Amino acid sequence: MIEFRQVTKRYDSDHTALRQVNFGLDRGELAFLTGHSGAGKSTLLKLIMVMERPSAGEVVVGGQVLNRLPRRQVPYIRRHIGVVFQNHQLLFDRSVFDNVAMPLEVMGTSARDIGRRVRAALDKVGLLSKEKMNPLQLSGGEQQRVGIARAVVNKPPVLLADEPTGNLDPQLSADIMGLFAEFSQVGVTVLIATHDIGLINDLGRRTLTLDQGRLVAGAGGLHG
Ligand SMILES: Nc1ncnc2c1ncn2[C@@H]1O[C@H](COP(=O)(O)OP(=O)(O)OP(=O)(O)O)[C@@H](O)[C@H]1O
């Protein structure tokens, strides 16, 4: 589902963020991405989201080589990629329902389908009863789950998360990870960037480790 082939990303002549990175993630695989601050984790996620383009090598998502993707097609690719951020980027002047509905509104989904799908996503994260509330009225863990509902509301085959449990206590973090594991079980490819080694060790999943832009552990082919 996601493949990096000898990917190098240089921001300028003396700043190489990723060096010849190779790995593949299958459909339904859940993996962690870790490494020191500045190791290149965000850069790797940005290449998958086509927020950045590689300087060399190829990034392939869903069989499509993103390097050659014309700019006008970038929004279509992004629809296939759900993203969860640490600070969840919710809008506090809208209800929980409206926050989750945003990706569907951008796609021009009918009001009836929006209602059905938003409620299915909120049900999945256990927040169906809070759809009319303002996100400010929710706890940090609940806000993060609204962010997850929004990321999955259009059923993307790929889910990326950047420090999704950064501000949460261990129990809430475990709950969030449980949700990610459920998505992977239904075929979503999940890649989670985190510094939280405890979380990684608890789950015993494949871990891609970056060190100064090099993938030093967890590399491998689509089935390795
Ligand atoms: N837009 C940019 N322009 C120039 N250099 C950049 C840019 N974005 C990132 N870098 C550099 O690339 C390297 C990798 O950064 P990146 O943000 O990918 O690391 P990271 O592993 O996500 O770090 P953190 O855990 O602190 O978020 C760093 O040296 C950073 O300064």
Ligand 1 mean position to 58 CA, how many Å? Answer: 19
pLDDT digits (tens, 9 = 90+) for 17-76: 999 999 999 999 999 999 999 899 999 999 999 999 999 999 999 988 988 888 898 888
Ligand 1 mean position to 18 CA, how many Å? Answer: 9
Separation of alpha carbons 222 and 199, rounded Å: 24
* pTM of the model as a whole: 0.90
Tokens coding 63 = 């069989």
CB atoms inside a 10 Å sphere around CB 109: 18
Question: By mean pLDDT, which of 87-91, 109-113, 175-179 is the weakest?
Answer: 87-91
Q: In what order do the strands lie in the sheet with 56-61?
A: 15-25, 2-12, 56-61, 64-65
Tokens coding 13 = 């002549």
Average of per-residue pLDDT across 85-113: 91
Alpha carbon nearest to ligand 1 atom 16, residue: 40
Read off φ and ψ for residue 163, nearest 5 degrees.
Answer: 50, 55
Ligand 1 mean position to 215 CA, how many Å? Answer: 15
Ligand 1 mean position to 38 CA, how many Å? Answer: 5
DSSP letter for 71, please: G
Separation of alpha carbons 84 and 168, rounded Å: 14
Task: Please say if the pLDDT value at position 2 is more than 90.
Answer: yes
Average pLDDT, the chain: 90
Task: Please say if the pLDDT value at position 199 is more than 50.
Answer: yes
- Our answer on whether the CB atom of 11 is closer than 6 Å to any ligand 1 atom is yes
Task: Please say if the pLDDT value at position 94 is more than 80.
Answer: yes
- Our answer on whether the CB atom of 212 is closer than 6 Å to any ligand 1 atom is no
- Our answer on whether the CB atom of 51 is closer than 6 Å to any ligand 1 atom is no
pLDDT-derived band at 88 (thresholds 50, 70, 90) equals low
Ligand 1 mean position to 197 CA, how many Å? Answer: 20
Ligand 1 mean position to 46 CA, how many Å? Answer: 10
Instruction: Enumerate residues 6+ apart whose C-beta is below 8 A from 172.
Output: 140, 141, 144, 165
Q: Reduced to 3 DSSP states, what percent helix, strand and coil does the chain have, rounded to the nearest 5?
A: 40, 30, 35
pLDDT-derived band at 156 (thresholds 50, 70, 90) equals very high
Average of per-residue pLDDT across 89-101: 94
pLDDT at residue 166, rounded to an integer: 79
Kindly calculate the radius of gyration of the chain based on its CA atoms and give it in whole angstroms.
Answer: 17
User: Domain ranges in the chain?
Assistant: 91-150
pLDDT at residue 224, rounded to an integer: 40
- Our answer on whether the CB atom of 40 is closer than 6 Å to any ligand 1 atom is yes
Ligand 1 mean position to 41 CA, how many Å? Answer: 8
Task: Please say if the pLDDT value at position 132 is more than 70.
Answer: yes
Ligand 1 atom with the smallest distance to the CA of 43 is 18
Average of per-residue pLDDT across 152-178: 89
Average of per-residue pLDDT across 11-17: 86
CA dist list (Å): 155 to 25, 26, 31: 18, 17, 19
pLDDT at residue 222, rounded to an integer: 54
Alpha carbon nearest to ligand 1 atom 3, residue: 11
- Our answer on whether the CB atom of 35 is closer than 6 Å to any ligand 1 atom is yes
Class of residue 11 by CB neighbours under 10 A (exposed 0-12, middle 13-18, buried 19+): exposed
3-class secondary-structure state, position 48: helix
